[in-house]
Chains A and B, each alone.
Chain A
Amino acid sequence: MAEIGLDAITKSYNATVAVDDVSLRVGDGEFFVLLGPTGAGKTTTLRTIAGLEMPERGRVTIGGEDVTRAAPAERDVAFVFQQFSLYPHYTVYDNLAFPLRAPARRMAEAEIDRRVRKVAEQLHITPKLGNQATRLSGGEMQRVSIGRALVREPAVYLMDEPLSSLDAKLREGLRVELKHLQVDLGATILYVTHDQVEALTLADRIGVLHEGRLLQVDTPRQIYNDPDDAVVAYQLGAPAINFLPADALGLDTPGVASGAVRPEDVTLIAADAPADGSVPAVDATVTQVERLGPEDVAVFDWHGHTLRALLTPGQAISRGDVVALRFEPDKIMLFDARGRRVRRGADRNTAAGHGAGPMSQRADTGVRNAG
């Protein structure tokens, strides 16, 4: 296993800057997740590391060695492609065995067989080993594609949305399995996803990519609780964080354009209970209640702004109710006009100690993904 280094990588296609000055270090044995919406440049970043794209500027290192100009085969990376890219004329077995049969590896057929069967077992595709690669469901193809990477012992694993075609149950199972495997092998994995649940559950560290730029790199907890950027705050957490213009929140700090509150930090005060004068509260109308299973989410309309709040199990509200909402002032994150975070003196401390409850719950709930 080895570490990956990206130094100021820039890659553009004609007018599109797909990856814009990205620098990144993935430690040896680290599970690093690149999170970003579609078109953020995630695939391009992975392809650059694999050697399938040549960056215009910057340097790629693997295991400390400069591989910017090296051919893909020389880099010793395993790549799980977003579009699977299975060899259509081979069976599942031969697809899995393909990388091991590379002449450079000179592996005995018995050893190949052992590895292929082990990986097939791990990914629950043993009954499909004899199938033609084209005669599989999307989820099965995706698992074969993951398997083709796992049979190898490369310097690093690059995985491009490897769980995206699986159903929720299988995805949850494989997520756990993948994490186990990574810990067992001490593997370096650079994993790309647009799914914040995957990012939060799998990652040792998360990097949020947006329009080719790397906005923030941090641990899951830190990046959730203390985002540097409005986009980062928005990318993590489902239901998504509530953004409100500064004047609506009555904030008059210079340079602050908006404030954001996580749904779990919005407190509902019963409509008939007298508002506690010491804490500012607003009256909002319930427009919808989304039942997610473990918790419900209420959607409110407040002067034309849409707000979401988590409901605790006991709270029974329904459409049309007018409810008083309270935002804890110290839980409101402030952002400037360009979306960068504006910090108050105490922000770092409060953020670090907060939110363990909803955080861990979120991490275990695949259903949440819907947001």
Chain B
Amino acid sequence: MTQVSLKAPAIRRLGGGTGPRQRVRGLSDRALAFYFVLPSLLLLLAINIFPLAWNIYLSFTNYRANMPGFPVRWVGDLNYARLLGSEDVWAAMQHTAHFVGWAMLIQVILGFGLAWLLNRKFKGAGLFITLIALPMMLSKAVVGTFWTYIFQPQSGIFNYIVNFFADVGEFTMLGNADLAPWALILVDTWMWTPFIMLIVLAGLRSVPQDLYEAAEVDGASSWRQFWTITVPMVLPFLMLAVLFRSIECFKLFDMVAELTSGGPGSATELANIFLKRQAFETWRTGYAAAFAVILFVTTFGAANIYVKFWTKVKER
């Protein structure tokens, strides 16, 4: 530690910022700051930036991870050209869009509704919220596994409940190309609606009550209060929740791998499942790397546009 006597100038120096930058044993404030950040910077470089760069490099080659001896050839944009022309890729993207779109819509409606109901003081509200939030805390792979049991045609409770209300007979949720995508949406909704609920609840609780009082005195109906006060105040919260959730949905893998592994056929082959199949079943590593880059750019770009929009909404 540098020895400094605690006189006024020394204190000023330690305080940083305000006083003129002085050297304490040859280290300026800026350099000191840099050395503190350096370890995490190196770590980030090693486990994030390098793999990303390597992946981008691979996407321009014909590399196959299962054939280490195979000569690696630079193929230019061939992988990208193939990807964009492939029906399977477009199908995977469509499946993903279908999943993300419906999951978000249903979760927003349910999450908002639950938050709305829980946003009044009643005995045991805290316990209730904890219970509702439980699914969110489970591992996605575990959730996937036990929902396969729930969906079992003969012994699963899902079929039993559906048949209790509507006599449709035995059906296979996960084995049917029309139903399987909805099974994914159902499980994701069961698991993640509480997340949206919690964030919306925080938003609802941040609305100053006196605004509602003012509106009430001004003769505004509950409907008008909802649209002029609640919605604008909660929207930034809701949008943030949707951002987190859609990124997660977009890269969803483990739960689907447990539930359907992309099947039946390719009915639930979301982008990430498709990616995994290309990379580790057909071993077209370069091709998969190119797809990963496309996914990355898409998510990153969409998230950035969304955040810009979000900032606008928040600042209103």
Contacts and interface: CB of A to CB of B under 8 A. Distances in A.
Interface string B205-239: 00010110111111111001000110011000000
A234 interface: no
Q: Is the interface of A mostly helix, strand, loop or mixed?
A: loop
Contact of B220 (A78, A102, A132): A102
Contacts of A85: 208, 210-211, 213-214
Interface size of B as a range: 10 to 19
B211 A71 contact: no
Given A81-B210, A83-B210, A89 B217 contact: no
Interface in A75-110: 77-79, 81, 83, 85-90, 98-99, 102-105
Given A81-B210, A132-B316, A87 B229 contact: yes
Contacts of A90: 228
B148 to A, nearest CB: 46
A86 B228 CA distance: 12
A152 B219 CA distance: 11
Contact of A102 (B208, B219, B233): B219
A50 interface: yes
Interface in A39-82: 50-52, 71-73, 77-79, 81
Contacts of B220: 73, 98, 102
A102 B216 CA distance: 10
A71 B219 CA distance: 10
Contacts of A99: 218-219
B213 A72 contact: yes
Q: Is the interface of B mostly helix, strand, loop or mixed?
A: helix
Contact of A72 (B208, B216, B233): B216
Interface size of A as a range: 20 to 34
Given A87-B228, A89-B228, A89-B316, A102 B218 contact: yes
Nearest to B208: A85
Contacts of A148: 214, 218
Interface string A105-136: 10000000000000000000000000010000
A132 B217 CA distance: 22
A103 B215 CA distance: 13
B217 A52 contact: yes
A143 to B, nearest CB: 15
A103 B316 CA distance: 26
B213 A52 contact: yes
A98 B217 contact: no
Nearest to B218: A99
B213, B218, B228 — which one has the most chain A CB atoms within 10 A of its CB? B218
A104 B210 contact: no
Contact of B219 (A73, A81, A83, A87): A73
A73 B220 CA distance: 8
Contacts of B217: 50-52, 72-73, 77-79
Interface in B166-216: 208, 210-211, 213-216
Given A73-B217, A77-B217, A87-B215, 5 more contacts: A79-B217, A81-B213, A83-B210, A87-B229, A88-B233
5 contacts: A50-B217, A52-B217, A83-B210, A102-B219, A103-B224
Interface of B: 208, 210-211, 213-221, 224, 228-229, 232-233, 316
Which are the 3 A-B pairs with shortest beta-carbon distances? A102-B219, A99-B218, A89-B232
